[in-house]
């Protein structure tokens, strides 16, 4: 929501320079030069083993510094402890921490990790084995089944290239590799592992990478990756974060930044293919820590190996290893550690609509009515900050309020009541900063109550920390304080009672975002206007006026249409601004201090406190923001989730949040942030969704048609189709941009109706996939190699994806085309059928096949051996759809095999709750549906479609032994269609036979 961030930062920096320095700026002098760090690890001595002690599930190793301190970026810690724990057959925990336990570690009451099994035999039965040397201490991880193979993780110097190595990425001095010792200092930790040359690495986000879902390790024409873990409010940068000035008190610093925006997920999956056996195995590596981190994926010139290097500005080296061996197993094993995803309510899978710029409650209502008139299903209506927005009132834009003129509470009550009566839902936004009261006549209960409960973040001297966000000067909830949950629950409950009877909550700017550096309200004139009106999109000085991507008004005139006189208007006439590269930053600045750690992270904002809460802000438990910054979002998510459970007991909380962290999926879903209305961002949304499957936050999606800038008809048409086959499906755009509700263009409306109808018919399949995610951690959306791990041609594919194991989606991601290329996995051993026609695809083996894809059509294909329970009559809302009778779609393999399951419950209660699973199995001439569970299924099975049923027309069809007369058979498709069945599914098996 910050398109003009540069101007905002410049404005507030001008304010800061014209006033007294903030508490933050007063503390930016560093120690005397003779105590400055060396900024080079080449002389660091590493560590040696002092003692070893075995215990039931592993061993404890004591380490001592192996020589004189190097103090490269801080003070060397003399004594370390290494705890090696075999937690399960597939999970190994290696935790390296300072023996005095002075370094920050994440408290278990914030993020609880499973401790595994209490089984002494795991040390001899585990899939993974731990090995180490003593002088220096180095370790490596092997598979028990392959004791002589390549280690999965290997910190030995002998396995890494010789150092020193000049910058591997020539434009970034920070990629110089001075040495690979284990470094453990109070403000700098370093650990390096060898990787196979050109390793297939996935994860390490949140990121939008031009290299794709598979990360760039610096081979095959790539340069490598620097992934920075420092949550920041940046609108979806690609590879290099957006060029922004970083204002330090000393000077302007420019930094080279890896692509990181809202969340931090230091988990990666590596997939290894054995050329000799033609088989693959996957494993996973997770670093559990909140400290700001650079993770390097590099391949030095002429090196026989690639490498991964972790550089942290605090915390400990707490690693978990997962043995897989399949990609899905790695993801499930990670979920078993950090916690499985929250259960989604059934209505959450409907189509959602939002706009930052709806003028008032009547304008919002009007969008609902126009969607109904266009017969485009709408499940959830959202409001952005317009809900509390009055541009002329500087006391506006406050959480938990409604504008008294535009969105008065009584009218909101009526409007939301209308939605509820139509089985629709309403969701408002909640921002991170809470407005500070600036005069005695002002009234704002959340701030006053927060003062009473003492829940705001503090400056080091104990005063309120004051940032600047949309309401002006703001305070920030301290999630470590004892009473913050009380405040948050009261505020949400009071808001609902006042008329905003929401069905879920949207958490935004919770990195958290702040528009100034430091506690900028400390000592300032708090009654002064702090957010000039021109900073809001849609106001004079900040209108969204650019034409849609690819449109050239000098050639085609001012209309902006998809075609003019039948000629397509998208062309290479618009020039993108190149992204600027910057140097490593202020590592050698003698004035650096704890607020600007000696090791300069590749943060695109440079100064770590730019555009967020300062690193020296203090929490109730004495922890400073530097150590816990990346966890702000998850702590808000957890508190909000628990508050919603308190307000609506027994109902599944529905949350969408921007900033996330490991285990966020237990509390929330995610949207991919403030993307841009360009074709590239539609493509990038696929890798974003795939990443979050790995991160165990599977309910995720993009702002469909794009948030920033102006979309056009063709882009929105294609994007509405694509997002219909993603978990979270919402159309959302910025103030003053062209309206992009799907009814605005006839072609988009038609495409949307078709895609949403398929989505709603597939609701039992979606619902089952997410039940499996919540029960087992299985990813609902899958990269092609997840299901076909031994096919190297699939390892880099991210322009297609699978829904579960059985649906292949091949979207159009470029303009001006009527065909699309896609690969069909299985190397010729799998039969793929078209969703729409049921025809078998004549697919090329291990290479692309060209598919017809006229505007309004998205290619979806069905895998053989699959069976789907569908809603036979998808309706306008999820509730109405769930009343529909069922149908079966079975796609038999050549031997007649097919299998599928469907998990059914009431769609809203927090489990454990009554549920029934239908198991669908097939063999030649037979399909059987078996129910198991205690949820009563009211709807009947109305229709059955079997693909690949027989090569000749059957002579006999029966259901549960009774002859069926109402059926049809298409020889060319080998398709058997049985209709008008009306059979119940609740108590006994349904057996369908034919011969």
Q: Minimal CA–CA distance to 309: which of 232, 239, 225?
A: 225
Here the tokens at position 204 are 């390490």
Q: What distances in angstroms separate CA 968 from CA 869, 897, 980, one per listed residue?
A: 20, 21, 12
Q: For the chain, how many residues are written?
A: 995
The pair of structure tokens assigned to 823 is 């690969």
Distance CA 603, CA 229 (A): 8
Q: Which 8-state DSSP code applies to residue 676? A: B
Rounded CA-CA distance 347/877 in Å is: 8
CB neighbour list of residue 960: distance below 8 Å, 6 or more residues apart: 983, 990, 991
Q: Is 674 a catalytic residue?
A: yes
Closest CA to 523 of 461, 479, 478, 477: 461
Among residues 294, 386, 508, 605, the one annotated as catalytic is 508
With vertex at residue 704, the alpha carbon angle to CA 698 and CA 705, rounded to the nearest 5 degrees, is 155
- Which of 511, 549, 589, 787 is catalytic? The answer is 511
**Local structure of 690: helix, strand or coil:** helix
For residue 881, report the phi and psi dihedrals to the nearest 5 degrees.
-65, -40
- Evaluate whether 257 touches 582 at the Cβ level (below 8 Å): yes
Q: Phi and psi (nearest 5°) for 201?
A: -115, 135
Give the burial string for 479-493 (b: 16+ CB within 10 Å, else e): bbbebbbbbbbbbbb
Q: In this structure, are residues 644 and 655 in contact, taking their beta carbons and an 8 Å threshold?
A: yes
Instruction: Find tokens 């398929």 and name the residue.
Output: 758
Helix or strand holding residue 267 (H, E): strand 265-274
Q: Alpha-carbon torsion 224, 159, 96, 185, what sign?
A: negative
Rounded to whole angstroms, the Cα distance separating 659 from 469 reads: 16
d(CA 322, CA 567): 54
* Catalytic annotation, pick one of 674, 703, 713, 908: 674
d(CA 485, CA 640): 8
CB contact at 8 A, 910 and 641: no
The whole-angstrom separation of Cα 842 and Cα 189 is: 54
- Pairing state of beta strands 472-475 and 434-435? antiparallel
Four-residue CA torsion sign, 249, 251, 255, 259: positive
Task: Give residue for tokens 């001592």.
Answer: 64
Is 52 an annotated catalytic residue? Answer: no
DSSP, residue by residue, 186-249: SS-EEEEEEEETT-EEEEEES---TT-SB---S-TT---EEEEE-----S--BSBPPP--EE-S
**Where is 305: in which H helix or E strand?**
strand 305-312
User: Which two structure tokens, joined as six digits, stand for 462?
Assistant: 């104990």
Give yes or no for a contact between 633 and 655, defined as CB atoms under 8 angstroms apart: no
CB-based burial label for 685 (10 Å; 0-12, 13-18, 19+): buried
Q: Who's near 709: CB < 8 A, 6+ residues apart?
A: 544, 546, 548, 549, 676, 677, 678, 734, 737
The CA distances from residue 852 to 289, 809, 855, 860, 945, in Å, are 48, 13, 10, 11, 24
Distance, C-alpha 721 to centroid of its chain = 20
Catalytic residue numbers read 508, 511, 674
């Amino acid at each position: 929501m910050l398109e003009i961030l540069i101007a905002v930062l410049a404005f507030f920096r001008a304010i800061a320079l014209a006033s007294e320095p903030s508490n933050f700026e007063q503390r930016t002098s560093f120690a005397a030069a003779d105590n400055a760090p060396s900024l080079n690890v080449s002389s660091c001595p590493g560590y040696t083993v002092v003692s070893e002690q075995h215990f039931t599930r592993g061993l404890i190793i004591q380490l001592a510094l192996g020589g004189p301190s190097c103090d490269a970026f801080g003070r060397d810690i003399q004594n370390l402890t290494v705890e090696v724990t075999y937690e399960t057959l597939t999970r190994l925990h290696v935790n390296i921490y300072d023996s005095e336990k002075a370094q920050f570690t994440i408290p278990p009451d914030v993020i609880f990790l499973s401790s595994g099994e209490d089984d002494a035999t795991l040390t001899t039965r585990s899939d993974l084995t731990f090995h180490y040397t003593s002088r220096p201490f180095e370790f490596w991880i092997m598979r028990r089944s392959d004791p002589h193979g390549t280690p999965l993780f290997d910190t030995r110097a002998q396995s890494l290239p010789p150092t020193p190595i000049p910058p591997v990425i020539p434009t970034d001095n920070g990629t110089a590799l001075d040495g690979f010792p284990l470094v453990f200092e109070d403000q700098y930790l370093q650990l390096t592992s060898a990787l196979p040359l050109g390793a297939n690495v996935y994860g390490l986000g949140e990121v939008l990478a031009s290299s794709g879902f598979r990360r760039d390790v610096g081979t095959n024409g790539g340069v490598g990756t620097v992934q920075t873990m420092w949550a920041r409010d940046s609108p979806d940068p690609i590879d290099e974060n957006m060029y922004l000035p970083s204002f330090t008190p000393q000077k302007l610093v420019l930094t080279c930044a890896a692509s990181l925006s809202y969340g931090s997920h230091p988990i990666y999956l590596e997939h290894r293919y054995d050329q000799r056996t033609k088989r693959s195995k996957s494993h996973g590596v997770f670093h559990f820590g909140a400290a700001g981190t650079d993770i390097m994926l590099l391949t030095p010139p002429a090196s026989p190996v690639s490498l991964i290097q972790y550089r942290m500005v605090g915390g400990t080296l707490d690693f978990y290893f997962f043995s897989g061996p399949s990609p899905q197993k790695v993801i499930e094993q990670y979920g078993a550690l950090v916690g499985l995803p929250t259960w989604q309510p059934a209505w959450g899978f409907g189509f959602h609509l939002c706009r930052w710029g709806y003028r008032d409650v009547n304008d919002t209502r009007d969008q609902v009515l126009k969607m109904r008139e266009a017969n485009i299903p709408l499940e959830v209506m959202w409001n952005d900050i317009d809900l509390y927005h009055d541009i002329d009132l500087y006391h506006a834009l406050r959480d938990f309020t409604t504008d008294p003129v535009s969105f008065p509470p009584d009218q909101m009550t009526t409007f939301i009541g209308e939605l509820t009566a139509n089985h629709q839902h309403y969701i408002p936004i909640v921002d991170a900063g809470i407005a500070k009261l600036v005069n005695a006549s002002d009234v704002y209960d959340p701030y006053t109550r927060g003062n009473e409960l003492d829940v705001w973040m503090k400056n080091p001297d104990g005063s309120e920390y004051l940032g600047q966000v949309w309401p002006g000067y703001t305070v920030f909830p301290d999630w470590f304080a004892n009473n913050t949950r009380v405040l948050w629950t009261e505020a949400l409950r009071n808001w609902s009672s006042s008329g905003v009877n929401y069905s879920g909550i949207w958490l935004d700017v919770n990195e958290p975002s702040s528009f100034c550096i430091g506690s900028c309200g400390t000592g300032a004139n708090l009654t002064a206007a702090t957010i000039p009106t021109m900073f809001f999109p849609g106001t004079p000085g900040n209108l969204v006026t650019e034409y849609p991507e690819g449109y050239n008004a000098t050639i085609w005139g001012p209309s902006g249409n998809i075609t003019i006189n039948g000629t397509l208007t998208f062309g290479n006439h618009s020039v993108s601004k190149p992204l600027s590269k910057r140097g490593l930053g202020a590592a050698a600045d003698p004035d650096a201090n704890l607020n600007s750690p000696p090791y300069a992270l590749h943060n695109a904002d440079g100064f770590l406190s730019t555009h967020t809460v300062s690193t020296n802000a203090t929490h109730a438990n004495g922890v400073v923001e530097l150590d816990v910054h990346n966890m702000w979002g998850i702590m808000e998510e957890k508190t909000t989730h628990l508050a919603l459970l308190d307000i609506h007991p027994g109902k599944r909380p529905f949350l969408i949040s921007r900033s996330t962290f490991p285990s966020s999926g237990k509390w929330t879903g995610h949207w991919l942030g403030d993307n841009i209305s360009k074709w590239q961002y539609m493509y990038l949304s696929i890798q974003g969704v795939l990443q979050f499957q790995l991160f165990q936050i599977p309910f995720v999606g993009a702002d469909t048609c794009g948030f920033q800038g102006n979309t056009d008809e063709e882009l929105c048409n294609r994007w509405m189709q694509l997002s219909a086959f993603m978990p979270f499906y919402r159309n959302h755009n910025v103030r003053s941009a062209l309206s992009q509700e799907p009814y605005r263009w006839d072609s988009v409306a038609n495409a949307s109706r078709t895609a949403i109808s398929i989505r709603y018919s597939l609701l039992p399949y979606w619902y089952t996939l997410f039940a499996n995610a919540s029960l087992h951690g299985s990813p609902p959306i899958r990269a092609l190699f997840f299901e076909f791990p031994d096919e190297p041609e699939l390892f880099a594919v991210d322009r297609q994806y699978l829904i579960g194991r059985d649906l292949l989606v091949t979207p159009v991601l470029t303009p001006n085309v009527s065909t699309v290329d896609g690969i069909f996995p299985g190397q010729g051993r799998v039969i793929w059928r078209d969703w729409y026609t049921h025809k078998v695809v004549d697919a090329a083996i291990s290479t692309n096949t060209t598919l017809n894809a006229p505007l309004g059509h998205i290619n979806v294909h069905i895998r053989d051996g699959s069976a789907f329970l569908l809603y036979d009559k998808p309706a306008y809302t999820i509730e109405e759809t769930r009343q529909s009778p069922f149908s079966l779609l079975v796609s038999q393999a050549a031997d007649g095999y097919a299998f599928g399951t469907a998990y059914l419950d009431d769609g809203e209660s927090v489990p454990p709750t009554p549920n029934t699973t239908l198991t669908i199995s097939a063999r030649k001439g037979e399909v059987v549906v078996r129910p198991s569970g205690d949820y009563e299924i009211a709807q009947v099975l109305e229709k059955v479609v079997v693909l690949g049923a027989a090569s000749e027309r059957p002579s006999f069809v029966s259901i549960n032994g009774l002859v069926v007369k109402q059926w049809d058979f298409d020889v060319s498709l080998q398709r058997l269609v049985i209709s008008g069945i009306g059979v119940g599914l609740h108590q006994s098996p349904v057996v369908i036979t034919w011969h």
